[in-house]
Amino acid sequence: MIASAPIRDPAEIYRRSFAIIQAEADLVRFGADARSIVVRMIHACGMVDLADDIVVSPGFAQSARAALEAGAPVLCDAEMVRHGVITRLMPAGNEVMCLLNEPQVREIAARDETTRSAAQVDLWADRMAGAVISIGNAPTALFRLLELIDAGAAKPAAIIGVPVGFVGAAESKDALAADPRGVDFLTVKGRRGGSALASSAVNAIAGGLEGHG
């Protein structure tokens, strides 16, 4: 049997992908703006059941989009998240940054006996006010972010908290969902997460929250 020719048109690939996701995923509990983000996250990982584990605050999509339109930076916990963000989509030429490789990060990590991912969050402090935070790899970064907010640090506009892993990932996301400190948020329950999910959520927001059907 001769296999059918592969689809090569990017727009058609996206169209069919989004149509399949909408047909197979349970998206009914999400509003239109949040649904657009969820569809892109599913597209990034290929798992339609991800929708069952996504927790998103009612105002998250609007708060995050408004922050980007106002020129807020996007603070990422990992270079993989930063590189996954499509900067041309940014509505105000927003800065997308990861401070993991700043020289003082190792010093902070050694002093506090913590990970570099958590240590870099200390360097976010003077940039956090009204920012969009995207954490896709390090549970310790999410825990540290919540600690800083508890200690009086300026609150971001929105938190994408989807660290992946077997140690601390589920717990850090549960902590965010249980008490988001008055900040709009999106997270994924359990062990699943990662750079692709974190950056795809940012891209969906930056792209204008257009619906998919």
pLDDT value, residue 82:
97
Q: Which of 35, 43, 82, 155 is catalytic?
A: 43
Catalytic residue flag (residue 43)? yes
Which pTM value belongs to this model?
0.93
Whether residue 211 is predicted with pLDDT greater than 50 in this model: the reply is: no
Position 1 pLDDT exceeds 50: no
Instruction: Give the other-Cβ count within 10 Å of 77's Cβ.
Output: 32
Section 175-190 average pLDDT: 98
Long-range CB contacts (within 8 A, 24+) of 39-45: 39/204, 39/212, 40/200, 40/201, 40/203, 40/204, 41/197, 41/200, 41/201, 41/204, 43/17, 43/18, 43/200, 44/196, 44/197, 44/199, 44/200, 45/192, 45/194, 45/196, 45/197
**pLDDT, tens digit, for every residue of 111-129?**
999 999 999 999 999 999 9
Cα distance between residue 9 and residue 1, in whole Å: 24
